Structure 1
């Protein structure tokens, strides 16, 4: 059984992991810094929301941008993405930068995130093999969950201490350091073989979508993760109204969000560190069911301690997606891994964004936050049952052969 400590005996992983962590922290920091900068200058919540959303919109272009990871050497693409973000984010710190230009630069900087994520995901199976790859993917997912909760709080503290411009320069430095780590520690590999002589973004993206959706296992894996996550994680969008309903405020809202992440991190650790592959496969669908089932008691408006326990169980159930993420990339043909990851990124972003909007809209209609969470639990449970049955049926499907054209 692979261990997290054992992963760091692999030289390339010792460099790739901190490079990923630094790049993600950089993404979080730039989002917070620009949002604060915009609000300080305009006092407009709408303008601030537009600035903040600019960090996430490029994920919708995941299938197109992810195709870069299947056309160019992945090590070089990682370095280029980090250096481009370092330059663009540093430009945001220039004195007197117009608000519109700052938002545009932030959007451009985040256009380099999907190809970075796709290239890193596609490169990981070359760095780690077998169960080590499952464990390595689990560790990176843990890092994502922990930094998602802590990143915004840390980002706010950094901005408070060094001003938004100083935080943006620190952010640019994280990207530059990530590029240096990849250049120093990752060995060059040739670009994946492709039959097409010239890169065509739309054609390559369409080929990636076809590759994913013509393989029954890949298709059902994504639908299970997308739909269950969309409903289960929608609680995050109404954490503050839920905290107010429970008699708390912003601190409790933070605890509610952290509890979901803690449950996810706990489940991901157990699944990728201490669970045999055969057992892991058997508990995938039951865990997905748990993520929705745990939220149903919220319809009865339980007190805060019970809510925290339910949210922890929901996060625990959602951890089913961690080993599936690794298995998804392993199952995709090597020449399509970047595009497959791009499709996954786009669907997760769209699903969770839609879930956030749905939870907010239902609450806006006058439904209590607790009841809204319970209704989202019904959606997650229904998705887990329906998609889980289709996923289990597709689990024995042979690996799809690579399409003839790209």
Structure 2
């Protein structure tokens, strides 16, 4: 079981700096020493199972993006209602909290490969029903909720399986980073490609394509990953899920790490959520809206790629608390009303600070006991999506009363204060010593 870092004081002695072995140590890992030679992200791609998981992730993500666009357009065509059309998109976020808490036990109670394949098949079934001409709008919205409720279970199980495939060391960090980079890239190109697709294919036809991507993902996961036993189980599923959530949030160390993963994301979404309003405030064209929205994801991808390829595990560990604490400071440029070029630079810097998550991912997987890992990863995914939705809503509400530049600047101040306090709490619960040349006795 990984060590839980608590409040106990420990004597520390200096040891010579050693690089941690780069092979997986988790039970049932598929990593072998020969397969992990290389540098940076190439070591993750050297693992056969990870290549299948990566390809399945890209396909399922493509399916989600296409379904979101197609469903939004389809609902608007059927009803002519902007509200229902927007609701079709928003429903992709709301069920995350429910699915991530009441169904999180699925990730630990059943074999991971079975969970992943069944989740993809459920999503494929929902997409097939959406594509039927006779499916009414109410059913379309309900099916959208079903896909969203399954998503945190799928994501949490995949994250836990990643630790089984790559081990819970540096390879896990790199693999997790690659999956995040794919997700960020989808923000940049996915919606554009979806719009082009709908110029040639009707919305229900696009949903058939979504059906195909989910089925392909299920096939890749079934044929390309090993069967591993369930981590734990027993009792009613809902009670088991809620018990796991209480365990995750009840441990001071795990709770502090989760909050440091969640809270910066809640604040950093404000500029993107208010991009259209900010462009209107400045009186610039709509082309700037897209640029304002895509600059931060570009920074995030660049920061992750640099940290994953150029920094050692010890280096990624050292940047966690400084970047998490200061990553929102570039948003203070907004109230100064600089040229848009400076705003874009500020967004780029704020996005690149997301590189802190590579080291924090490692701390998190080390802190969570093996038998709790699936539920913890599911809670993490559900909380992250939910808190980003909350951040967007709060930013929009604040912009009803104050100028966008004032709101974003205030977000930078308040967010930095919260992140500094969380970084202090994480430090109090204990920093893993093995990555800094120290060891606890």
Determine the structure 2 residue equivalent to 1:281.
Answer: 317
Q: Which moved more, 1:306-315 or 1:227-236?
A: 227-236
RMSD: 1.7
Number of residue equivalences:
394
- 1:204-254 CA distance string (max 9 Å, x none): 222222322233321111112222210112211111112233443332111
Please, which moves more after superposition, 119-128 or 218-227? 218-227
2:162–2:172 CA contact under 8 A, matched in 1: yes
1:191 match: 230
Is 2:262–2:387's contact at 8 Å kept on the other side of the alignment?
Answer: yes
Equivalent of residue 319 in structure 1, options 330, 355, 358: 355
Q: Alignment partner for residue 10 of structure 1, among 47, 53, 56?
A: 47
CA distance in 2, matches of 1:139, 1:327: 18
Q: Which has the larger radius of gyration?
A: 2
Deviations 1:178-208 (A, max 9, x none): 00101111011111133x3x3421x222222
* Unaligned runs of at least 5 residues, structure 2: 1-21, 23-38, 434-441
How far is 1:326 from its partner? Answer: 4.3
The yes-or-no answer on 1:373 pairing with 2:411 is: no
1:321 offset after TM fit, Å? 2.2
Give the secondary structure class of the aligned counterpart of 1:364.
coil
CA distance in structure 2 between the aligned counterparts of 1:333 and 1:188, rounded to whole angstroms: 21
Q: Which string of whole-angstrom CA distances, capped at 9 and with x for unpartnered residues, describes residues 139-194 of structure 1?
A: 11111111123222222222222110111000110000000101111011111133
Query: Of the candidates 217, 222, 228, which is equivalent to residue 178 of structure 1?
Result: 217
CA 1:273–1:364 in 2, change beyond 3 Å: closer, same or farther? Answer: same
Contact 1:291 1:380 in 2 (8 A): no
Flag the structure with higher helix content. 1
| Contact preservation (8 Å) 1:246, 1:303 | no
Paired with 1:199 and 1:29, the residues of 2 have a C-alpha distance of 35
Q: Does 1:94 align with 2:129?
A: no
1:22 aligns with 2:59: yes
What does 1:213-252 correspond to in 2, within 5 Å? 213-252=249-288
Q: Which of residues 304, 308, 313 is equivalent to 1:268?
A: 304
Decide whether the 8 Å contact of 1:122 with 1:334 is kept in 2: no
Aligned residues of 1:64 and 1:342 also touching (Cα < 8 A): no
Provide, for residues 94-133 of structure 1, a one-character-per-residue CA deviation record: whole Å limited to 9, x for no partner. Answer: 1132111111112122222111111101100111122111
Q: Residues of 2 paired with 1:346 and 1:331: CA distance?
A: 19
**TM-score normalised by the chain length of structure 2:** 0.85
Tell me the distance in 2 between the aligned counterparts of 1:335 and 1:209.
13
- Runs of at least 5 residues in structure 1 that lack an aligned partner in the other structure: 399-406
1:4-403 equivalent positions in 2, closer than 5 A = 4-61=41-98, 62-129=100-167, 130-194=169-233, 196=234, 198-201=235-238, 203-365=239-401, 367-396=402-431
Work out the CA distance in 2 between the residues paired with 1:54 and 1:26.
16
Question: Alignment partner of 1:294: what SS?
Answer: helix
CA distance in 2, matches of 1:223, 1:331: 14
